[in-house]
């Protein structure tokens, strides 16, 4: 098939000139972006009016604010010692908010603008994949009313920034699949590195995606694909390398974020050990000294003189020993956590703020300790309002999943493969005892994108989608 000099696939004229019926959908984009901003702003103001500014503070917010203040003074310390758990991506964004003296107001404004950016990126990606259709309109509409993104864009948390970076990464991957230039590949690695500095969960994502880079784009020779895959991983590693060096220098810690070690010990190992001691998951964590240094060091007094890195190394090795000794139990626990990640509607988070749900010892800890069905039974019996809201939002979530699966068939094969791979990475990596609906936030825009494609395909005229996509398909590659 003929290609222009740039190497981009030729697209029929009908694909580059959207039909008249799609213009009205595009004209709604500014209105939809405004709706995304205003709806979240009103919800944030309602929170503050009901409970004060503390209503939009999460458990990790104070860490980020403290570190942002430390960065303003040229350091990265918390409680008098170099911090090894939180990475500097979100604190860097919060620096203007801390500097202004209005942390909550400016910080929430930043997150609201990031939510608008996410919606705009969704529209751009949808238009690039499905020109001449209403897919962009529907994708943004689904995102506007999606509860996880709605709730946590009004909280001082890192997820809105993380989502924006991941959507930008997906957009760059799509452009790379169309025209595999080195510039686009390096930009994608840079953006993914920034996302990893925001949330360390992405640490192994390049290796997870490496097989796809070896397969696509198919019009490149296998040797070129191998070279580009190695370059992508290498650039990503070089971006993260300074933080590894910093951690080793200031804390004798040779990892990227010590949250990994804390999760292994206080979440994974504690969840496995709790049933053998006849305790709940939450009680076991508390007994082990989670977020309580005095209690932890009372159990391990010899570690008071250890370096931070040595303490975290102990947590990792001890936690892995417990998990290895009871790995069948852990596999069950991890599967339950994956289910929570996928189906937690965050209904309990909405109700917690108006005191209709307990602050501690809720659904998550019961699912980890007892299982999904007993945990949901407890929720319905003890908190019927939460159970009802959980059911209603669950219907919405299932609708998103069904539409996303239907819409996935409309994507070019390489793009669909990357979306499925990224989603699977988060489901598996954020499952287990740490799994909850908040961590689902980065995959929800991709679900909205696919759901939007599904609705656009159902409602379109037979000629609305061009037969030849701008991103090469498997047939075009041959």
Cβ atoms within 10 Å of 355's Cβ, excluding its own: 10
Contacts 24+ apart (CB under 8 A), 99-107: 99/72, 103/65, 103/156, 104/48, 104/53, 104/56, 104/57, 104/156, 107/65, 107/156
Select from 329, 435, 382 the least CA-distant residue to 374. 382
Higher pLDDT pick, 313 / 11 = 313
Q: What is the pLDDT of residue 436?
A: 86
Question: ∠ at Cα 104 (100, 107), nearest 5°?
Answer: 75
Instruction: Give dist(CA 454, CA 147) in Å, integer.
Output: 20
Give tens-digit pLDDT for 317-346.
Answer: 999 999 999 999 999 999 988 988 998 888
Residue 82 in 3-state DSSP? Answer: strand
- Confidence check: pLDDT of 383 > 70: no
Instruction: Give dist(CA 427, CA 444) in Å, integer.
Output: 12
Give tens-digit pLDDT for 389-416.
Answer: 778 888 999 999 999 999 999 999 999 9
Q: What is the pLDDT of residue 394?
A: 87
Across the strands, what pairs with 78? Answer: 81
- Confidence check: pLDDT of 10 > 70: no
What band does 349 get if pLDDT is binned at 50, 70 and 90? confident
Residue with tokens 């319905």: 380
Instruction: Give dist(CA 66, CA 323) in Å, integer.
Output: 33
Question: ∠ at Cα 365 (359, 370), nearest 5°?
Answer: 140
CB 94 within 8 A of CB 65: yes
Least confident of 14-23, 196-205, 215-224: 14-23
Tokens for 477, please give them: 């590659």
Residue with tokens 């300790």: 369
Tokens for 386, please give them: 């939460």
Instruction: Give dist(CA 369, CA 67) in Å, integer.
Output: 34
Give the mean pLDDT of 293-314: 96
Q: What is the pLDDT of residue 19?
A: 42
- Confidence check: pLDDT of 72 > 90: yes
Mean pLDDT of the chain: 86
Give the mean pLDDT of 277-284: 90
| Helix or strand holding residue 78 (H, E) | strand 77-78
Instruction: Give dist(CA 175, CA 187) in Å, integer.
Output: 11
Residues of the chain with pLDDT > 90: what percent?
68
Tokens for 287, please give them: 């007994």
Residues of the chain with pLDDT > 70: what percent?
82
- Confidence check: pLDDT of 29 > 50: yes
Q: State the pTM of this model.
A: 0.87
Give the mean pLDDT of 208-232: 96
Q: What is the pLDDT of residue 366?
A: 64
For residue 9, give the DSSP letter: P
Higher pLDDT pick, 362 / 231 = 231
- Confidence check: pLDDT of 260 > 70: yes
Q: What is the pLDDT of residue 53?
A: 64
Give tens-digit pLDDT for 128-173.
Answer: 999 888 999 999 999 999 999 998 998 899 999 999 999 999 999 9
Handedness of CA 62, 443, 153, 130 (dihedral sign): positive
**Size of the chain, expressed as the number of residues it contains:** 478
């Amino acid at each position: 098939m003929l290609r222009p000099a740039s190497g981009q696939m030729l697209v029929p004229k009908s694909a580059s000139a959207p039909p008249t019926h799609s213009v009205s959908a595009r004209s709604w984009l500014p209105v939809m972006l405004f709706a995304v901003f205003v709806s979240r702003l009103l919800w944030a103001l309602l929170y503050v009016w009901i409970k004060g500014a503390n209503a939009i503070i999460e458990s990790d917010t104070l860490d980020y604010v403290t570190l942002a203040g430390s960065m303003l003074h040229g350091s990265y310390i918390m409680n008098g010692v170099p911090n090894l758990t939180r990475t500097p991506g979100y604190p860097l964004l919060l620096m203007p908010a801390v500097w202004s003296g209005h942390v909550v107001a400016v910080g929430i404004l930043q997150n609201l603008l990031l939510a608008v950016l996410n919606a705009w990126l969704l529209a751009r990606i949808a238009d690039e994949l499905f020109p001449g259709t209403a897919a962009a309109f529907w994708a943004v509409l689904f995102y506007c009313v999606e509860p996880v993104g709605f709730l946590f864009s009004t909280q001082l948390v890192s997820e809105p920034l993380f989502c924006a970076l991941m959507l930008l990464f997906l957009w760059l991957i799509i452009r790379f699949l169309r025209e595999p230039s080195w510039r686009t590949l390096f930009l994608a690695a840079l953006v993914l590195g920034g996302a990893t500095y925001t949330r360390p969960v992405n640490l192994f994502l390049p290796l997870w995606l490496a097989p796809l880079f070896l397969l696509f784009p198919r019009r490149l020779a296998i040797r070129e694909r191998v070279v580009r895959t190695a370059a992508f991983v290498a650039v990503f590693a070089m971006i993260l390398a300074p933080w590894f060096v910093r951690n080793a220098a200031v804390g004798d810690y040779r990892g990227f974020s010590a949250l990994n070690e804390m999760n292994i010990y206080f979440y994974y190992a504690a969840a496995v050990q709790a049933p053998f001691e006849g305790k709940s998951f939450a009680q076991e964590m508390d007994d082990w000294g989670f977020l309580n240094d005095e209690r932890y060091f009372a159990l391990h007094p010899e570690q008071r003189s250890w370096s931070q890195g040595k303490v975290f190394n102990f947590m990792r090795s001890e936690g892995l020993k417990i998990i290895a000794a009871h790995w069948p139990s852990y596999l069950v626990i991890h599967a339950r956590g994956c289910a929570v990640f996928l189906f937690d509607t965050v209904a309990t988070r909405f109700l917690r703020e108006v005191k209709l749900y307990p602050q501690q010892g809720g659904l998550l800890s019961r699912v980890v300790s007892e299982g999904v069905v007993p945990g949901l039974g407890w929720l319905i019996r003890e908190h019927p309002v939460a159970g009802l809201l959980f059911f209603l939002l669950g219907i919405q979530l299932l609708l998103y999943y069904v539409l996303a699966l239907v819409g996935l068939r409309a994507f070019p094969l390489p793009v669909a493969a990357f979306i499925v791979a990224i989603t699977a990475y988060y489901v598996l990596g954020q499952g287990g005892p740490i799994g909850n609906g908040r961590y689902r936030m980065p995959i929800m825009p991709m679900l909205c994108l696919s759901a939007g494609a599904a609705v656009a395909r159902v409602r379109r005229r037979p000629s609305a989608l061009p037969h030849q996509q701008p991103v090469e398909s498997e047939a075009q590659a041959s």
